[in-house]
Amino acid sequence: MKAASLALLLLGYALFPLAASESLDDDLQPYQMVRSLQNLQDRIADGDHAVMPMQNKLLAMIDTRLRATTAQEFKDRRNVYALLVYAMSGGNPRTASELLPMVDPTIASPALIEGIRAHAEGRPGAALPALLKFNPMSLAPEIGAPLALLLGNLVSSVDKAHAARYLDMARLLAPGTLIEEAALRRTLDLSLQMDDPERFRNAASEYVRRFILSPYAGQFASGFINGVLKFDDQIAFSEIAELANEMGLERRQYIFLELARFAAIEGKNELARMASEKAQTTGQEPGEHDAMRAQLYSSVSSVAMENVEETMERLHAIDRDKLNRDDRHLLDAALNVAATMLAPPLAAKPADQLDAVIVEDTTPARPLRDVPPDSRLERSRAMLADIDRLLEGR
């Protein structure tokens, strides 16, 4: 274990708050190593990306140490809890499956052990009924918090409201930790499935305020964009812009550009226009690629709303070499739609030049009132259909 102790020492004492009487030259107990992992993960949640490579190394060290743990050491409740946390948090399933049966039933409930073991072995159907017997709030926080997060994930497929409550418990039991960070990201996704704009607003606000520097913030950004698209008629754009302003220049630019792109594709023209404008005024000079993207999304959103000739000019002014493959497809679709709208209508043939038609179908003709008008709305729908077909054909 000297190698393990040396590795921990290299990570720095600040990451591993052991008691002053303990020596890093002695064998570390499993619970000490799991605490070290949790401290490391909390630093990751706070935005310390530099320590991320150590996470997998420490997990491997914990796995080795757990496999060497004796029956006597598993009489220590702290070591048992360390094993439970390890098994619930993505540890080696084989290690968890082999060691969990060794747990003294007077320290942890056999039903809890069986539920965690089923989860580790990839048997959610067996894990869920066993784990639902336990209230995470009534357990020790060190196992209650990861259990609440686990239940939030397992229950979400059958009862989203119940899953959201478990995620709230996880946040209450482990504030400021990677568990809370993960619970907020999961809550954001659940709010879309529950069609709950208020829950979305609260989760997004909390995440931006507390965890926007997390290396997992990219996953949050994707969920955030999806939520804005879904709730654009229920959450004011000014609120969205205010939240984005707290994300830092680079992420803010990304949010507005992606939001503008998807809004343009989905025909949310006003949202696309506002997001495009924000992307060009984020407080820093946009690069050529970003400037071209913003111009493209703004033009796509206005192709069926404004002066088509001007929109066509803006589209032709875009340097397609500055766009990625997907955006080049989008540019082509917008140009095709604009060209169609500018094309003169086909002239009707004189009556004496009409081809003879033999009518065999006796189905009554559709009344004229049922014929959709050639309106701007219809042209906009046609534009979206063209874009959808083009993007599907990539």
Average of per-residue pLDDT across 27-43: 93
What is residue 20's predicted lDDT score, i.e. its pLDDT?
37
Judged by average pLDDT, the poorest of 168-182, 267-281, 293-307 is 293-307
Residue 15, pLDDT above cutoff 50: no
Average of per-residue pLDDT across 164-173: 98
What is residue 124's predicted lDDT score, i.e. its pLDDT?
94
Per the rule left: phi > 0, alpha: psi between -120 and 50, beta: everything else, 367 is beta
CA atoms within 13 A on the CB side of 133: 13
What confidence tier does 237 reach under pLDDT thresholds 50, 70, 90? very high
Any idea where the domains of the chain sit in the sequence? 236-343+374-394
Among candidate residues 11, 46, 50, the one with its CA nearest the CA of residue 177:
46
Residue 181, pLDDT above cutoff 50: yes
The residue with greater pLDDT, 146 or 20, is: 146
What confidence tier does 75 reach under pLDDT thresholds 50, 70, 90? very high
The helix (H) or strand (E) run that includes residue 137 is: none
The residue with greater pLDDT, 304 or 208, is: 208
Average of per-residue pLDDT across 265-277: 88
What is residue 127's predicted lDDT score, i.e. its pLDDT?
96
- Tokens linked to 160: 């989203």
What is residue 331's predicted lDDT score, i.e. its pLDDT?
78
- Tokens linked to 77: 């409740």
Residue in the block written with tokens 């004189």? 350
What is residue 22's predicted lDDT score, i.e. its pLDDT?
40
Residue 117, pLDDT above cutoff 90: yes
- The amino acid occupying position 338 is A
Residue 376 phi/psi, 5-degree rounding, is: -65, -35
- Measured over the CA atoms of residue 249, residue 254, residue 256 and residue 257, the dihedral's sign is positive
Residue 238, pLDDT above cutoff 80: yes
The residue with greater pLDDT, 20 or 227, is: 227
What is residue 279's predicted lDDT score, i.e. its pLDDT?
85
Please give the mean pLDDT across all residues of the chain.
81
CA–CA dist 334, 338 (Å, integer):
6
What is residue 368's predicted lDDT score, i.e. its pLDDT?
34
Average of per-residue pLDDT across 310-317: 75
What confidence tier does 392 reach under pLDDT thresholds 50, 70, 90? low
What is residue 322's predicted lDDT score, i.e. its pLDDT?
80
Judged by average pLDDT, the poorest of 6-20, 30-44, 200-214, 319-333 is 6-20
What confidence tier does 366 reach under pLDDT thresholds 50, 70, 90? very low
Residue 251, pLDDT above cutoff 80: yes
SS3 198: helix
SS3 278: helix
What is residue 281's predicted lDDT score, i.e. its pLDDT?
78
Residue 329, pLDDT above cutoff 90: no
Average of per-residue pLDDT across 30-43: 94
The residue with greater pLDDT, 360 or 260, is: 260
Burial state string for 118-151 with b = 16 or more CB within 10 A and e = fewer than 16: bbbbeeeeebbebbeebebeebeebbbbbbbbbb
- Measured over the CA atoms of residue 148, residue 152, residue 155 and residue 161, the dihedral's sign is positive
What is residue 230's predicted lDDT score, i.e. its pLDDT?
96
What is residue 178's predicted lDDT score, i.e. its pLDDT?
94
What is residue 365's predicted lDDT score, i.e. its pLDDT?
40
Judged by average pLDDT, the poorest of 8-17, 186-195, 293-302, 320-329 is 8-17
Average of per-residue pLDDT across 220-247: 94
The helix (H) or strand (E) run that includes residue 361 is: none
Condensed to tens digits (0 to 9), the pLDDT of residues 78-104 reads 999 999 999 999 899 999 999 999 999
What confidence tier does 280 reach under pLDDT thresholds 50, 70, 90? confident
CA–CA dist 87, 121 (Å, integer):
10
What is residue 328's predicted lDDT score, i.e. its pLDDT?
84
